[in-house]
Amino acid sequence: MSDRRTVTEDPALRESLSGLEASARLPATLPPAQFPIETLVPEVRQQTPAVGQRATRPDARLHGLGQTKYIDDLALPGMLHARIKRAGIAAARIVRIDTRAAEAMPGVMAVVTGRDVPVNSFGPSLQDQPVLADERVYHAGDGVAAVAAATDAIAAEALERIVVEYAPLPAVLDPFEAMREDAPRVHPPASNVYAHKIIRKGDVERALAEADRVFEGRWTTQMVEHVPIEPHAAIAAWDANGRLTVYSTLGRITLGRADIARTLALPVNRVQVIGTIVGGNFGGKNEISQEPVLALLAKKAGRPVKGVFTRGEEFYASTTRHPFFMDYKTGVGRDGRIRARKVRLVLDGGAYCSWSETTLGKACILATGPYRIEHVQVEAFAVYTNKTVAGAMRGFGAPQVCFAYESQMDEIAAALGIDPLEIRLANAFDEGAASPTGQTLESVVVKASLEQAAARFGWREPRS
């Protein structure tokens, strides 16, 4: 790989860059504005109290006028543009990576691979994810090498010249297949079932046996993306004291800084993370992604480096929502009261643990719904597959289990001839109810929300 070069030291490079610099993408410039912009109407009450006001956001005017600076709008002097090469194969051993042709390209200032990462692993609960895949590829969106170049176009072209030789391994794509003993291991020698949780209250088997009616069903949900308007973006810049500043779309900078420092084997106080205004997160920007890669490229090139995920990378190289497989068995009295509910959840976690433990935990705790049920059992498994990583996403498993428990609620209501609103009111938590984990619940307004929504909708009015 190349030594550190600068434009002035290398005449050939300087020549080739002279045209490129001019064509390099300029940072977006804004139309001139007069400051401060006149406010015609006082928008906020001058008096206190402040709480409960429909206060205008101070950033609303900036957003409305296009004055908000997202990372793509920022440029540091001499800044380079990074691209990451993605594996494009779900499971393989990496035999060799040849970066020489990419390094020889004019305008390419640094190339890194997994071997350059001091501590090549991260993750919020299990550190099972490499910053750049080194020996093994776990899913098709894994990064295998990265380039920093004078322009984004050169960086993209350089990726094409990196040669990676793979020895394909059997990929496991179905979570139920992955749970079998003889299935290929995604992270050998670890089991493919990497998280398990159970909640038990009362005697669910006896209560099911004694119930008037028992309803059974399986519900499944799909993998979806957060699709923020602003993709994952970051800039890494070092100062002469060896201190790293990272501008990032990260949603949790305190823990992100710790993760970045860990992967780079730096003391935490040598890393500054600045969270910029983010164009949508929804859980997808809860952990570090390209930040350590940009830092390594910036160090190697001696220049600040910016990376912005492509829309494709947003899909295959960021996290997604866990697909759920949900088996519900519910014992009900003729009066519509739920006596017992037994739930089994299988989460397709994709290639890495990421935020699966939190998703698993929340899904388990919430799985029986906002209902008073004496006998419950919830058991859940998170399973590795060689697919895109499932992680944090708005709701952490709640939208999945709600789809199941509320669908089954309507099935029960229809079978017993009870109105869907009334069966919910008959079963819903009251103030002071005990949750499935035995917690005494306070400020419980589920019945009030049912009544309020029903009144607004006109649920009890005769149907036309």
> Six-digit token pair at 141?
């969106």
The C-alpha atoms of residue 409 and residue 281 are separated, in whole angstroms, by 32
The reply to whether 278 sits near another protein by the rule CB under 8 A is yes
The reply to whether 218 sits near another protein by the rule CB under 8 A is yes
Using CB under 8 A, pick the residue from 11, 35, 36, 57 that binds another protein. 57
Which residues are 342's β-sheet partners? 329, 377
Residue 442: exposure state from Cβ atoms within 10 A (0-12, 13-18, ≥19) = exposed
> Six-digit token pair at 88?
């494009």
Question: For residue 329, which phi and psi values (nearest 5 degrees)?
Answer: -130, 120
The reply to whether 12 sits near another protein by the rule CB under 8 A is no
Looking at the Cβ atoms of 121 and 310, the one nearer to another protein is 310
Looking at the Cβ atoms of 111 and 365, the one nearer to another protein is 365
E strands, 70-132, in order? 80-86, 92-98, 108-113
Site for another protein in 131-160 (CB under 8 A): 139-141
The reply to whether 201 sits near another protein by the rule CB under 8 A is yes
Q: Are 348 and 175 in contact (CB under 8 A)?
A: yes
Q: Are 118 and 181 in contact (CB under 8 A)?
A: no
> Six-digit token pair at 265?
């084997």
Applying CB under 8 A, the span of 17-25, 153-161, 314-322, 329-337 interacting with another protein comes to 314-322
Using CB under 8 A, pick the residue from 74, 121, 184, 219 that binds another protein. 219
Q: What angle do CA 136, 140, 142 make, to 5 degrees?
A: 60
The reply to whether 184 sits near another protein by the rule CB under 8 A is no
Q: Are 230 and 211 in contact (CB under 8 A)?
A: no
Site for another protein in 18-47 (CB under 8 A): 44-47
Q: Are 286 and 393 in contact (CB under 8 A)?
A: no
The C-alpha atoms of residue 159 and residue 330 are separated, in whole angstroms, by 54
Q: How many residues bind another protein (CB under 8 A)?
A: 125
Q: Of 338, 330, 280, 336, whose CA–CA distance to 309 is shortest?
A: 280
The reply to whether 452 sits near another protein by the rule CB under 8 A is yes
Q: Are 73 and 63 in contact (CB under 8 A)?
A: no
Site for another protein in 326-365 (CB under 8 A): 357-358, 361-362, 364-365
Using CB under 8 A, pick the residue from 222, 333, 335, 430 that binds another protein. 222
Using CB under 8 A, pick the residue from 395, 416, 418, 426 that binds another protein. 395
Using CB under 8 A, pick the residue from 130, 292, 349, 370 that binds another protein. 370
Looking at the Cβ atoms of 331 and 436, the one nearer to another protein is 436
> Six-digit token pair at 206?
């006896």
The reply to whether 181 sits near another protein by the rule CB under 8 A is no
The reply to whether 252 sits near another protein by the rule CB under 8 A is yes
Looking at the Cβ atoms of 78 and 251, the one nearer to another protein is 251
Using CB under 8 A, pick the residue from 4, 93, 200, 206 that binds another protein. 200
The reply to whether 262 sits near another protein by the rule CB under 8 A is no
The site string for another protein over 76-115 (x = CB under 8 A, - otherwise) reads: ------------xxxx------------------------
- Give the Cβ contact number of residue 350 at 10 Å: 29
The reply to whether 283 sits near another protein by the rule CB under 8 A is yes
Using CB under 8 A, pick the residue from 19, 32, 49, 417 that binds another protein. 49
